Amino acid sequence: MHIPRFPEPAATGMVTIEAEPDEAYRIISDPPSMALLAAEAYSARWLDGATAPAVGARFRGYNRNGPRRWATTCSITDAEPGRRFGYEVTAPFNIPLSRWQYDIEPTADGCVVTETSWLRVPSWFIPFGIAITGVANRADTNDANIATTLRRLKAYLEKRSSLRAEGRLTDAGS
């Protein structure tokens, strides 16, 4: 099977967040938390007994587009606290779909988060992907979804930082 490797990202976005890099990483690297902020994913769960991000750990992501629903399996490739979180996405039968990566850069007031996706899907699978997801232009859809996810991540983390500064949220708070 020929699997194209697209060297250029299919979609990317960036946001400046008034939150510490480690706090951003804590949310970004927790798939169940990120599913609550994502545009297309609506749920995620750890697999194989994993409970935290680590290279090689896997999770299942549940996605939706209107009435369409599908699941993917994700394998973590990068888990560098406060710096980077990345994973490869596959469909059933281990068909490669994409790679997602979050890079976190510290700033004087918090951090900059860059979310990037690369397409990895074999060309023969594209018509099936369109039928399953209802998305004909995956790159444009991912661009829009990244913008939504990053906007929600910023709002969530900055609200938490504000509550923590006011003493209304401790590290044990969710």
**Confidence category of residue 1, pLDDT binned at 50, 70, 90:** very low
- How far is Cα 86 from Cα 53, in angstroms, rounded to an integer? 10
Give one DSSP letter per residue of 47-87, joined into a string.
-TT--S--TT-EEEEEEEETTEEEEEEEEEEEEETTTEEEE
In this structure, is residue 169 part of a structural domain? no
Lowest mean pLDDT among 2-11, 16-25, 27-36: 2-11
Q: Yes or no: say if 89 and 32 are a contact pair by the CB < 8 Å rule.
A: no
The whole-model pTM stands at: 0.89
In this structure, is residue 34 part of a structural domain? yes
**Using one digit for the tens of pLDDT, what is the confidence trace for 107-148?**
999 999 999 999 999 999 999 999 999 999 999 999 999 999
In this structure, is residue 2 part of a structural domain? no
Q: What is the mean pLDDT of the chain?
A: 92
Per-residue pLDDT at 169: 60
**In total, how many domains does the chain have?**
1
In this structure, is residue 56 part of a structural domain? yes
In this structure, is residue 170 part of a structural domain? no
Domain of residue 120 covers 11-164
Residue 174 has pLDDT above 80, yes or no: no
In this structure, is residue 58 part of a structural domain? yes
User: For residue 39, what is the domain's CATH number?
Assistant: 3.30.530.20
Bridge-based pairing of strands 11-17 and 41-46 is unpaired
- What lies within 8 Å, CB to CB, of 148 at 6+ separation is 38, 39
